[in-house]
Amino acid sequence: MSDVERAPKFGDDVTSRQDEPVIVVDGAGVTLGDRTLWRDLQLSVWPGEFIAVLGPNGAGKSTLIKAILGLIPLSAGRITVLGEENLHGSSAVGYLPQRHAFDADTRIRGRDLVQLGLSGTRWGLPLPGLRRLWGGSRAAREEEQRVQDVIDLVGAIDYADRAIGELSGGEQQRLLIAQALVTRPRILLLDEPLDSLDLNSQQAVSALIHRVAEEFKVAVLLVAHDVNAILPYLDRVLYIARGQTVIGTPHEVMSEETLSHLYDTPIEVLHTRDGRIVVVGQPEGVAYHGHASHDHS
């Protein structure tokens, strides 16, 4: 397999575990207070798969990501990540939280932000970069090279040495993706990485994520509001609404039949000539829906 030739940078033994799912969600459900967000979720995510998590606001998309990370307890079922039920804090999982904008005064370089993905979990000195003063070690140089590699990969070389507070949303997002990738994870969990970006950046970042998934066999779960920027790259779609979940190919899930059944109300799915999908008739409106907190669970 030619893919594997390029793959060894990510995941040490990619080939041996190609045939096992990296995430297995088995009958899982989450209840916050007295409200069940979703339940009976069955999902297996395979290496290199690119899956979008869609649904109205408040449906529990971010909660699913956090449950996979082990940050939120399940009320039912179980989630196995890389064969383990409690993999909290693993470097094999890259994570990008929701609406993540840095203060304009944050005086730390993008390169340092990426570096923190490697060194931020280690106790004790040296501080990032201090080793260079002592002549440098091979491990330090390898680490620097790794940071440089992901910065090149996400195309952030032009601004990686500027303070992150000065950068645009798209530039910050690329550096955050680089940070999530620097540990060479086998799973990438991205919570609305495209939302604050302009259309061009949305397409560029989507293509980048697709490339990472395909070349390095990284499984990607991406929470999104609008499916169109990622539509050409998606393997599957997980749609969460009204406490229920549907999983399938984009065309299976984004159909009038499936969505009407899910919402229990007639939904129209329009296909534009350039291949975009427009969903009309969701109870909360078309794109940016209001409050799902008084929905029908």
Q: Which is nearer to another protein, 130 or 157 (CB)?
A: 130
Task: Name the token pair of 295.
Answer: 């929905």
Q: How far is CA 149 from CA 144, 153, 173, in A?
A: 9, 6, 17
DSSP 234: -
Tell the smallest beta-carbon distance from residue 82 to another protein (Å).
Answer: 15
Instruction: Count CB neighbours of 4 within 10 A.
Output: 11
Tell the smallest beta-carbon distance from residue 26 to another protein (Å).
Answer: 22
Tell the smallest beta-carbon distance from residue 211 to another protein (Å).
Answer: 22
Instruction: Count CB neighbours of 147 within 10 A.
Output: 24
Helix (H) or strand (E) segment spanning residue 54 = strand 50-54
Q: Which is nearer to another protein, 72 or 277 (CB)?
A: 72
d(C-alpha 70, C-alpha 208), whole Å: 27
Q: Which is nearer to another protein, 119 or 228 (CB)?
A: 119
Tell the smallest beta-carbon distance from residue 98 to another protein (Å).
Answer: 8
Instruction: Count CB neighbours of 151 within 10 A.
Output: 25
- Residue 77 pairs with which residues in a beta bridge? none
d(C-alpha 180, C-alpha 99), whole Å: 15
Q: Which is nearer to another protein, 172 or 282 (CB)?
A: 172
Tell the smallest beta-carbon distance from residue 170 to another protein (Å).
Answer: 18
Tell the smallest beta-carbon distance from residue 169 to another protein (Å).
Answer: 16
Which spans of this chain sit near another protein (rule: CB under 8 A)?
69, 71, 88-91, 93, 95-97, 100, 102-103, 106-109, 112-113, 116-117, 119-125, 127-130, 133, 162-163, 176, 179-180
Tell the smallest beta-carbon distance from residue 157 to another protein (Å).
Answer: 16
Q: Which is nearer to another protein, 25 or 176 (CB)?
A: 176
Whether 61 and 53 have beta carbons less than 8 Å apart is answered as yes
DSSP 163: B
Helices (H), the chain: 2-6, 61-69, 110-119, 130-133, 138-153, 169-181, 199-216, 250-253, 256-263
Residue 135 falls in which region: left (phi positive, over 0), alpha (psi -120 to 50) or beta: left
**Residue listed under structure tokens 């992901």:** 150
Tell the smallest beta-carbon distance from residue 40 to another protein (Å).
Answer: 26
